[in-house]
Amino acid sequence: MTAALLPLLLLLPAASTQPLPLELEQRLALARALPAPYSAAVILALLPSAKLSPTQILPLAEEAYQLAGRDASIALRAWVVYRDNLDEEAPLVLGMPQRPVSLVATCADLEVSDPGDYYRYALQAGDREFRAAVRNLRSAVELGRLAEALLATGWEEYLPLLLRALSSVSGSDREFVEAIRFTGLHNAVLEIATRVNVPTARTLLNQYRTFLVSHLAGRRCAGNRAEEFEGIFTEFNRLSRRLAVPLLTPDLAQVRAVDTTARDMLPTANALLHKLTNAAADETGVRSMLTELSRFTLEQKLGATATTESARAYLYARFAERLAGTPFEDRVIEEWLRFVVGSRLLEQQPRVWFRCARAFADWAGRDLRRQHAVSSAGDPALAAYIRLTALLPESEVTRILP
Least confident of 226-235, 262-271, 322-331: 262-271
Contacts of 134 (CB under 8 A, 6+ apart): 119, 122, 146, 161, 165
> Over 60: is that where the pLDDT of 148 sits?
yes
Which DSSP letter does residue 153 get? I
Pick the residue with more confidence: 63 or 155?
Answer: 63
Contact in structure between 68 and 37 (CB atoms under 8 Å): yes
Q: Is 219 helix (H, G, I), strand (E, B) or coil?
A: strand
- pLDDT beyond 70 at 64: yes
Name the nearest CA neighbour of 137 among 172, 115, 165.
165
Q: What is the pLDDT of residue 171?
A: 84
pLDDT of residue 316: 94
**Which carries the bigger pLDDT value, residue 274 or residue 227?**
274
CA dihedral (335, 336, 338, 339) positive or negative: positive
Cα(325)–Cα(30) distance, integer angstroms: 30
**Percent of the chain scored above 90 by pLDDT?**
57
For residues 162 and 120, the answer to whether their CB atoms sit within 8 Å is no
Distance between CA atoms of 297 and 397, rounded to whole angstroms? 34
Per-residue confidence band for 219, with pLDDT thresholds at 50, 70 and 90: confident
Length of the chain in terms of residues written: 402
Q: What sign has the CA pseudo-torsion 135, 139, 145, 146?
A: positive
Q: What is the pLDDT of residues 65-110, one digit of tens each?
A: 999 998 999 999 999 999 999 998 889 899 999 988 888 988 877 7
Residue 108 identity: A
Q: Is 223 left (phi over 0), alpha (psi -120 to 50) or beta?
A: left
Contact (CB, 8 A) for 290 and 335: yes
Cβ–Cβ contacts within 10 Å for residue 257, how many?
9
pLDDT tens across 342-399, in order?
999 998 888 889 999 999 999 998 899 999 999 999 999 999 999 988 888 776 777 7
First-last CA distance in the chain: 44
CB 165 within 8 A of CB 155: no
| Mean pLDDT on 229-238 | 90
pTM beyond 0.85 = no
* pLDDT above 70 coverage of the chain, percent: 88
CB 284 within 8 A of CB 278: no
